[in-house]
Chain A
C-alpha cells in the first residue's frame, strides 16, 4: 500500500496536466520566506471595474508591504472546481481565493482552505458581517471563509409591458399567476415568466415561502422537509407555472438561471428570476432594457415577501499557502468597509456589513430596493459538507422539479423520492 502511496504524487502530476499548462505561481518549500509575490484567484472574467478596483486595493496593501507584488488571476466560475482539484492534487495553488459561498464547506471538507477562526476573532471590522453569511462559511464550528459580497434573487419585470396589460407587480402567489397570464395574453409570442426549472436557488424562495424546510437536523439525523404538505404545495405551484398555467414553456424544465435571464434580456419574457449582480449581464444582452425594467421581491403565498437564499462570494486562505499572514493582511484591506462598499456598488451586489446594508441607500433605488427587502430575511441551505453532493452531484432538487415539469412523476412521487434520496446522502456515514 505504501508503494501506491508513493506513486500517487506522480499520478497527480499526470492527472493535472491542465494545471501545469496554466503554470500557476510557484510556492515550493524552499521559497517559504519568499514574500515577493501574493497570488489571488478571482472568479469570473474580470470586468474593467473589478480590475481597477483591485489595483486600488493593491496600492493600499503595498503601503504596508512595499515589496510584495499582488498577482490576480481570473478563473471562470464553471472552471473553478477543476482548477481547485488540480491545484490541490499538484500542491500548487493561490494564497487567497474567491469562491461561491455554496462551495466553501465542500472545499473546507477537502482540506483546501485554511482554518481562520483565530484570525476572524481578532478582527474588529469582521464582527459586523451579516451572521448568516458568516455561518455559511463554517464547517464543524471552524471558520474557513470570510464573506466578501452578498446577493439575493428577486424578480425582474418589464414595466412597459405591465403598464400595457394594466397590472401591478404581484405580492402573492395568486397574483403572480394572474399577472403572468395577463401580460402573456397582451404580448403574444412571449412568456409571462422565465422560470429556471433546472436551478435550485430561486425555487427555495417558494419552498421557504410555503413554510417548508429543505432539511432539518434532529440530533445526528437529517430529516428532509420535502415530503411535508408545505413542500408539496411549493413544488406544485412551481411546476404548475409550466404545466398548468403555461406562463413558461415546457423547455423551461431544462433552463438554468442564465437561460432564463437571457429570455428576459432578449425581450422574450415579461418576468425573470435573477440576482442583483446580473444587471450588468442583462444590460450587456440588451442595453435598452434599463429604461423599462423594474424589480420586486419574490412573493410568498399570502402577501409577505418570501425568504431568499443568502448567496454571494467568500474569500478564503489556501491551506497550502506559505504566506498566510501576508494573505490575511491583504484580505483585511480588501474587506475593509470602505472597499467592500465600493466593490459591491460596482458589481450590483450588497456589502456584507449589517450597518452598510440597512440604510436608505438601497431603499430608494429602483432596482436594488427589492433585493434589499429580501436581504432582510435570508435563509441557508443545510449546513453540512454532504450538502454539496445533494446539490451538485445528485442535483436532487433540480431533478425533483424537472421530473414533474416533464410529466415523468407526480408531485407526491417526486417529493417522496427526493426526500428519500436527500436523507440517504445526508445521513450516510
Chain B
C-alpha cells in the first residue's frame, strides 16, 4: 500500500538521469502489485491462518472473534487426527478415489482429444462444443441433475433398469424390480457414481488441452511413421506421447489436485456429511470444522494434512517429469 503513495512523490521530486530508468524498472512490479495484493489477501493470508489455527484448540466461535483465549495445542490436533483409525479409512478413500479418477479422466480425455484431432472441421466443432457443455456446467447444477438421474423412484437409471427384459435383469443382477433400489447405499456403488460425475465434469478440459497439444505436432512425423510401417497404436506411444509429455505432465498434476479435493459433487450426491464410511479428506475437514459443535483447529489440521499430501504427490510427480526430460 505504501509503495503506491510513494511512487508519484519520488518521481516528481527527482530530476536526475537515474530517474529515467526507474519508472521502467518499477513498472512490471507495479503492474504485478494489484494481483499480488488480491492473491495475498484472499488466498495466502487465509492459508497462513489455517496453518496457524491448526496449532490451537478452537471449539468456540467467540475465539475467532478474539473474545476468548486461543489455547495452544501444539501438535495435539495432528495427533488426534492421525491417532484416529477413522482417518486412515478417509485417507484410503481419498487416495483410491483420486487415483481412479485421474486415470479415468486422463484416458477418456486423451481419447476424445485424439478423436477431435481426426474429425473434420465442422464435426470437430460440434463434438467439441458438446463436450465443453459438460465442462461449462457448474459442479452444483450438474451434480443435482445426476442425482435426479439416479433417483430411486423416478430416475432415468431406475427406469432404464426396470425397462430391461425381466429374464436378462434377473440373470445379470438377481432382481427385476429396481424401483426403490438404493443406488447410494453401498460405498462402492456410491464411489462409482461419484467417479462418473467427476470424470464427466473434468474430461473435457483434458480433451481440449490434448487437442491443443496435438495440433502442434508436425504432421510429417506421423506421415513418416506411417511410411515406416507403424500402426496407430505404435505411433501414439512413440510419437504423440513423447512429444506431448509436458502437456500430459501438467494435466496429470492439475487432475490430481482437483480430484484430491473433490467436495461439491460429494456433498450433493451424499446429501450432506452424514455418510461417514464414504468420507474423503476434504469432506472430513469440513465436517469436523463446521458441523456442530465446531472444531476449527481439528478441521484446519486435516486441511493442512490434505495440502501436505498434495504437495508431496505433485512434487514427486513434477520431479519425475523433469527428470525424464533431462534423460530424453
Contacts and interface: CB of A to CB of B under 8 A. Distances in A.
Majority SS at the chain B contact face:
loop
Contacts of B53: 11
Interface stretch (A59-67, A87-95, A128-136, A142-150): A87-95
Contacts of A395: 274, 276
Given A81-B292, A106-B293, A251-B181, A393 B69 contact: no
Given A11-B49, A392-B292, A91 B182 contact: no
B180 A106 contact: no
* Range class of the B interface residue count: 35 or more
6 contacts: A5-B70, A11-B46, A12-B66, A249-B152, A252-B182, A395-B276
A6 B66 CA distance: 6
Contacts of A85: 61, 290, 294
B46 to A, nearest CB: 6
B186 interface: yes
B291 interface: yes
B153 interface: yes
B70 A4 contact: yes
Contacts of A5: 66, 69-70
Given A8-B70, A109-B293, A406 B64 contact: no
Interface in B39-96: 45-46, 49, 52-53, 56, 60-66, 69-70, 72
A398 B72 CA distance: 34
B274 to A, nearest CB: 5
Nearest to B190: A254
A389 B288 CA distance: 10
Nearest to A394: B276
Given A82-B290, A388-B292, A393-B292, 20 more contacts: A5-B69, A8-B65, A11-B46, A11-B49, A12-B64, A15-B64, A81-B292, A88-B62, A110-B61, A110-B294, A251-B152, A251-B182, A253-B182, A254-B185, A254-B275, A389-B292, A392-B292, A395-B274, A406-B182, A406-B186
B178 to A, nearest CB: 10
Interface string B266-302: 0000010011110000000001101111100000000
Contact of B293 (A248, A253, A388): A388
Given A249-B152, A393-B292, A394-B276, A89 B64 contact: yes
A250 interface: yes
B260 interface: no
Contact of B72 (A1, A89, A394, A399): A1
- Which of B53, B276, B290, B293 has most chain A Cβ within 10 Å? B293
Contacts of A122: none
A23 to B, nearest CB: 18
B203 interface: no
Nearest to B60: A110
Given A14-B46, A392-B292, A250 B181 contact: yes
A9 B62 CA distance: 9
Nearest to B158: A251
A103 interface: yes
B179 A198 contact: no
A385 B65 contact: no
B274 A398 contact: yes
A251 B180 contact: yes
Interface string B214-248: 00000000000000000000000000000000000
A111 interface: yes
B125 to A, nearest CB: 40
Closest 3 CB pairs of A and B: A249-B180, A251-B152, A88-B61
A388 B59 CA distance: 13
A256 interface: yes
Contacts of A4: 52, 56, 70
Given A251-B185, A268-B153, A256 B64 contact: no
Interface string B106-133: 0000000000000000000000000000
Interface string A224-264: 00000000000000000000000011111110100000010
B205 interface: no
Contacts of B62: 88, 110-111
B70 A91 contact: no
Nearest to B288: A393
A273 interface: no
A212 B206 CA distance: 56
A204 to B, nearest CB: 17
Contact of B185 (A6, A8, A111, A253): A253
A12 B53 CA distance: 12
Given A9-B66, A88-B62, A249-B180, A106 B292 contact: yes
Given A249-B152, A392-B291, A8 B180 contact: no
B183 interface: yes
- Which of A89, A191, A403 has most chain B Cβ within 10 Å? A89
Interface in B175-209: 179-186
Contacts of B292: 81, 103, 106, 388-389, 392-393
Interface string A99-136: 00001001001111000000000000000000000000
Contacts of B274: 198, 395, 398-399
- Which of A6, A8, A14, A268 has most chain B Cβ within 10 Å? A8
- Which of A7, A254, A405 has most chain B Cβ within 10 Å? A254
A189 interface: yes
